[in-house]
Amino acid sequence: MTTRLGRYRRGTAKQVVAVLGASALLLAACNTDGDTSLGGEIDDTGGDTGGDAEEPGGTDEEPVAAPGDGEELVIGRISALEGAFAASAEDGERTVQMVLEEFGNEVAGRPIRTIVESSDTTPETAVDRARKLVEQDGVHIIHGPLSGGEGAALADYAKSVPHVTFVDAASGGTATTLADPSDNYFRWHSEGAMWTSPLGAYTAEELGYTNIATLAEDYAFPHSQVGGFLESYCAAGGEVAQTFWVPLGESDYSSVIASIPSDIDAMFVSVGGSDAVDFLTQAEEFGLDVPIIGGSILVTEDVLSSEGDVRASSDGIVSSGPIPPATAEIPEWQDFQQAYRDANPDAFDTPTLQAVLYYNSFKSLLLAIEENDGVVEEDDGASLRETMSNLTWDSPIGSLQLNENRQAETSIFIYDVVDDGDEDLGTRLINTAEGVQQGTENWGRLDGCP
């Protein structure tokens, strides 16, 4: 038997039987031979996948909320299984499966079926997938996406389908919950500017780097990362010598590295996934000789354990984000990592950032549905959204609850990369900023101090 990880404050965590193998959902979601990667249904109940989904909009009669009656609950999901973040999305699928197994693949007496739509990190694809889930599959709940541009686009689309409840999986663009936030869009993790805000001040005040250059991908999430970093960095007396912006999916950083000023103290870099592997490999190849300050996805588990030659350039990088280093002495975090390894022995040694966010967001959704007695479609999600807005629970990385923008505010961890001679690089906790609050600035592209 397995127990649910993280204590739910509104009820007692119960033991459930894990009914599927840990990789079943991942394998189905990544299947390119069938329909599941682009809209196929994944049966998490072991039964018929052809049940009738309720059409959006309901009937002409006023719906009456009532406890769930055991009818199948269909949850649409959008995951970036294509593109630069495919490895992280695949890891997210592993932790979603962990949640399903903790709940026994049912919630409030309702068996769960998910329909996974694969995206490629572009806003257009994410919205297309969401429209398919709502208009063709009739879902009332969507979990996703991963990337910042996708999140902002889905939050805007959510306004046109108020009967659908959206729970963000891992996207971190500031605008998603700050710029005219949608009443039916919920994000159970802090956002990109919050992740780097403590790091900016730390860079100037503790590391003594007051003249830097920045390199980031040119879309919503890195805009937030650079904005949060520079706001506190510049307030602490730091200056920006030059900024570099590259498209998502960039693989050649030679010209950028050759153009970096020789007299800077350090360079802040916000790229991730396969792009991060390419940059770190080329930083060593082309002799980048200034310290690197990492955005929150530069030195994540999937990057540090990649097949790319990242060891030499990664050692000593200081970074920050919403999850602790693997070695942090936080009992709930250590328990979660062990559960992840037990469920996924062939995956990473520790879950990726995105995998932790997928886990927390999907579990938050199921906890809210459980607290709401399984009521979802009967009142077009109104009571579920009220329940979710008031939910508080203890996740593997700390207590989670939402602010008035339906946005979580969490602790942020500052850490550095260490090379202790083992096969894989590791990270070490330096400092923790408790309860970082969401700012008021909707960050776009910056070319200097704000």
Is residue 352 in some structural domain? Answer: yes
- Examine the pLDDT at 403 and tell me if it is beyond 50: yes
Considering the domain architecture, whether residues 305 and 234 belong to the same structural domain is answered as: yes
Is residue 180 classed exposed, middle or buried when 0-12, 13-18 and 19+ CB atoms within 10 A define those classes?
A: exposed
* pLDDT of the residue at 93: 98
Which helix H or strand E contains 258, and what residues bound it?
Answer: helix 254-259
Summarize the confidence of residues 271-286 as an average pLDDT: 95
Residue with tokens 């506190």: 232
Is residue 450 in some structural domain? Answer: no
Is residue 73 in some structural domain? Answer: yes
- Rg of the chain over Cα atoms, rounded to whole angstroms, equals 21
Q: What is the CATH number of the domain that holds 239?
A: 3.40.50.2300
pLDDT tens string 263-276:
999 999 999 999 99
pLDDT tens string 58-94:
444 444 445 545 899 999 999 999 999 999 999 999 9
Considering the domain architecture, whether residues 94 and 174 belong to the same structural domain is answered as: yes
Number of domains observed in the structure of the chain? 2
Is residue 406 in some structural domain? Answer: no
Is residue 34 in some structural domain? Answer: yes
Outline where 106-185 has alpha helix (H).
Answer: 123-135, 148-158, 175-178
pLDDT tens string 290-316:
999 999 999 998 899 888 789 889 999
pLDDT tens string 320-360:
999 999 999 999 999 999 999 999 999 999 999 999 999 99
The C-alpha angle with vertex 70 and arms to 67 and 76, in degrees rounded to 5, equals 95
Range in 26-40, 56-70, 140-154, 264-278 the model is least confident about: 26-40
Considering the domain architecture, whether residues 57 and 153 belong to the same structural domain is answered as: yes
pLDDT tens string 194-252:
999 999 999 999 999 999 999 999 999 999 999 999 999 999 999 999 999 999 999 99
Considering the domain architecture, whether residues 97 and 204 belong to the same structural domain is answered as: no
pLDDT category at 423 given cuts 50, 70, 90 is: confident
| Cross-strand partners of 269 | 215, 294
* pLDDT of the residue at 432: 97
Considering the domain architecture, whether residues 317 and 334 belong to the same structural domain is answered as: no
- Residue 299's nearest CA partner among 428, 148, 122 is 428
* pLDDT of the residue at 69: 59
Average pLDDT value for the chain: 87
Cα–Cα dist 146/350, whole Å: 19
More confident residue, 439 or 29: 439
Is residue 446 in some structural domain? Answer: no
Is residue 93 in some structural domain? Answer: yes
- Residue 80's nearest CA partner among 115, 31, 114, 116 is 116
Q: Please state, for a pLDDT cut of 90, what percent of the chain lies above it.
A: 80
pLDDT tens string 81-129:
999 999 999 999 999 999 999 999 999 999 999 999 999 999 999 999 9
Considering the domain architecture, whether residues 50 and 13 belong to the same structural domain is answered as: yes
Considering the domain architecture, whether residues 7 and 33 belong to the same structural domain is answered as: yes
Considering the domain architecture, whether residues 147 and 52 belong to the same structural domain is answered as: yes
Considering the domain architecture, whether residues 114 and 82 belong to the same structural domain is answered as: yes
Summarize the confidence of residues 123-142 as an average pLDDT: 98
> Which of 375, 400, 425 represents a domain boundary (last residue)?
400
Is residue 444 in some structural domain? Answer: no
Considering the domain architecture, whether residues 53 and 122 belong to the same structural domain is answered as: yes
Cis before 324 (ω within 30): no
Considering the domain architecture, whether residues 212 and 167 belong to the same structural domain is answered as: no
Considering the domain architecture, whether residues 63 and 161 belong to the same structural domain is answered as: yes
Structural domain including 107 reads 2-190+329-400
Cα–Cα dist 400/411, whole Å: 10
What is the DSSP annotation of 30-63? T-SSSSTTEEEEE-SSSS-S-PPPPPTT--SSPP
Distance spanning both ends of the chain, measured CA to CA: 53
